[in-house]
Amino acid sequence: MYVLGIETSCDETAVAVYHADKGLIAHTLHSQIQTHNEYGGVVPELASRDHVRKLIPLIRQVLRDSRLKPSDIGGIAYTAGPGLMGALLVGAATARSLAWAWQVPAIAVHHMEGHLLAPMLEERPPDFPFVALLISGGHTLLITVEGIGRYRLLGESLDDAAGEAFDKTAKLLGLDYPGGPALATLAAQGKPRFKFPRPMTDRPGLDFSFSGLKTFTLNTYQNSERSGRDKADIAFAFQQAMAETLAIKCRRALQQTGLNRLLVAGGVSANLEIRRQLEQMCKQTRADLFFPRPQFCTDNGAMIAYAGCQRLLAQQSQDLNIFARPRWPMDELLNI
């Protein structure tokens, strides 16, 4: 079965085709970075309008690339949440309309489940069960994964998500949007001159809190000379603190669950320093570590097509109602 996957949760329009036996057939993506750059962040109305302009052309393109006709598609998967309501509605309405016109089932996919399953697209996917760290602009989650849809929350961010902390810190340092990659680039030029706290690592538990780290960064910057050298060293210290905090919590989660497999996904998982520290931690604990390839760390249609395919194969689908939830807890997902 060929499944068309549509992703429009925020500022990237992405489409892919996945086959249950042949794997990923084709995928394409349009980024809105240039659209939002001058505003220093995502403008929801502009994001929605750009999805409207780009989605149908991208669907046509991915069908051409995969040499498929609409009649070849056996199902459609689309991101229904979490995300920006207007952006989600573009993808949901398009997917539902095509499903009705092509007379195929459609399935609403949870955006973070898509990220969670992105490493399954790799040649060496993890076996169940495992611990998953999902780090993105809107979420920081530690989850035990026993199977698709069988998730147990271990810990989450009590305030800013990891990606949000990266973006806000980049903004206070005067860096361009998107802030996370810009801060990582600047940090590569920094030296270990400042020592930042590793928040909530001095107490038991697996929850995260990054608002204090962001405030500490702001105070350090305001008390510095605010030179280019200071900015680089502050970015370095912030990134080190973030990466080490994530590594400490993941080590704790592996010990608490008794599992020896760690999966890390989401946009922030592309950060090289975070990868390095997690790799070092897993080597010390003799745990296996799994990442998606960098192009599948950020939002993409391939992960949505894959997740949707698994649920459609399990005979899950919804009626013709347009379903979109800007807030959607993962524990409400159905098991397969």
Reported as type and span, the H/E element at residue 97 is: helix 85-102
Confidence at residue 57, expressed as pLDDT on a 0 to 100 scale: 98
Bind-site residues for substrate: 134-138, 167, 180, 271
Bind-site residues: 111, 115, 134-138, 167, 180, 271, 299
Q: Please, which pLDDT band fits residue 130 given cuts at 50, 70 and 90?
A: very high
Confidence at residue 254, expressed as pLDDT on a 0 to 100 scale: 98
Confidence at residue 275, expressed as pLDDT on a 0 to 100 scale: 97
Confidence at residue 171, expressed as pLDDT on a 0 to 100 scale: 94
Indicate if the pLDDT at residue 336 is higher than 80. Answer: no
Percent of the chain with pLDDT over 90: 92
pLDDT in tens, 2-35: 999 999 999 999 999 999 999 999 999 999 999 9
Pick from 331, 336, 333, 332: nearest CA to 141: 331
Indicate if the pLDDT at residue 261 is higher than 90. Answer: yes
pLDDT in tens, 194-224: 999 999 999 999 999 999 999 999 999 999 9
Q: Please, which pLDDT band fits residue 320 given cuts at 50, 70 and 90?
A: confident
Q: Please, which pLDDT band fits residue 243 given cuts at 50, 70 and 90?
A: very high
Bind-site residues for Fe cation: 111, 115, 299
CA distances 111 to 12, 123, 221, 232, 266, Å, are 13, 22, 35, 33, 10
Instruction: Please give the Cα distance from 245 to 203 (Å, whole number).
Output: 12
Confidence at residue 290, expressed as pLDDT on a 0 to 100 scale: 98
Instruction: Please give the Cα distance from 83 to 192 (Å, whole number).
Output: 36
Confidence at residue 317, expressed as pLDDT on a 0 to 100 scale: 85
Q: What would the mean pLDDT of 295-320 be, rounded to a whole number?
A: 94
